[in-house]
Structure 1
């Protein structure tokens, strides 16, 4: 795909809608009178009602500085040295903050074009520039042009999610004409192995994550993930893992979309982070951060909820990362609106009640 022909299309997708294919935004969908649910969602809701809940402790929040304001924080990653990296899809830059929200620097480069953080390798950030279909490597606040890798998007209208692990690159492509598939790439960006995710393509939209020895394909529109070995072979069959205990006020509308009663699917989850034996899922709520904790079997273990007094239907978190620290777990959350900001939380696991 030529960058010139795709530039306006990609920018429109990323900057006007952004969790792409979102249809209605998380809380902009009015409930219909029909309150029917999938049987699996009904069971999952009952499980959620009995799951223990803990309060997330917010330890930092920042909107940037006057000279370096966050405009559209799109992806967040904890990096070595006790810092959080944030990509800004509107400023076309990378920010670095400490874990209390203290500003450290903003890196701007004319080559950045709607940057997504897709991984880091020791002291090197790996960035996918979605508007240019190029993977860049950034070390010590400097982009390394000689290491850049081009990625050929199958068609201008496809959605692409990339992931960089210590040794490999992966790409997930989602589109109406292409379905949904995951590819393992070589160091030049060429496809080495590819597997089809199956099912309606819109259900497969979502980030890729590494979870131990597995690759996890997230689904923003249904409470399910798909897993593959990191070294999966061509044509491998992904395993489907239902998130039992996922609950959302939008589940009824999800059923209504599947049965043709509404025109657009609701977004249920914007992101997730895998850490050790847990998967932390960013469950979209109108005004506060909620992170659901699942085990390897997809069973809900706890609900982690930000302390809040009232809701805000314009609240829209877009990405999540997690790291272990001080006997607990830190979370970084990128928030798009009503105020573009980075929020950092802490949770210390306790024995189940």
Structure 2
């Protein structure tokens, strides 16, 4: 009988004793080998640039308010109320289990590892290689010895390589007290997980709501939109978000990707569902994972905001090395 190598716990509405799954009535994310082959037979000719220039920045050690710096893809430095958090840290050249193959980074990280300020926590949303990179976690742990907040099962993967790592592990709906005045809530996402061929959906995937300094910041990790129910329920539970960090890339072809990755128009709808006062677009422009052209996520996001009468400064698509204070991204602007 198959066994879950990462997690052993009670059956729930999203865990059947072996595998995790998305909530009922949401789209199915599993894809067959035939589906993969159909996709790869029809890849369009839209090569990305071989490299994109980046001017790395050196962040301040601490920020009293709220500041976000894009490092690349889903890796961001969130500085809030004097605390520093990094999301899904990947500094490696490839998002892959192999050093010589797989999606290659086309732009340098927006902050060098050595220039990171003192970190209080890593938020690790799930175990795909463009989000969970062991080499990066080893490098961060050796310098910062911080807490890794992650959903069920991912701690097992990391602990095999970093035995001394500290974890705050939880299920959807759980909360982790990282430090006095800093709480991280683990919230549902519509996605899946695997590190290889035999562990599909054996570790949980999630987003996070950061609560600190009287503010709420949502980091989506990877997610599809689905029915939109998970976002509306999040709004009901927490109230309007001050900032939502939402994926806008890796969405084509839609027949393959829609259940697991939002496109720019769906990202706008998530912002509206959350009644977020501002948003930031991530998960684009660093690794070529899917079929859309390199700059399309940003241009579609801007066009979609204008079409809905929303000030585009409320929802920028950040490039590596770009930094925004909350007041600079439309905190006072209406997005409704």
Structure with the largest fraction of helix: 2
Structure with the largest fraction of strand: 1
User: What TM-score does the superposition give when structure 2 sets the normalisation length?
Assistant: 0.34
User: What TM-score does the superposition give when structure 1 sets the normalisation length?
Assistant: 0.33
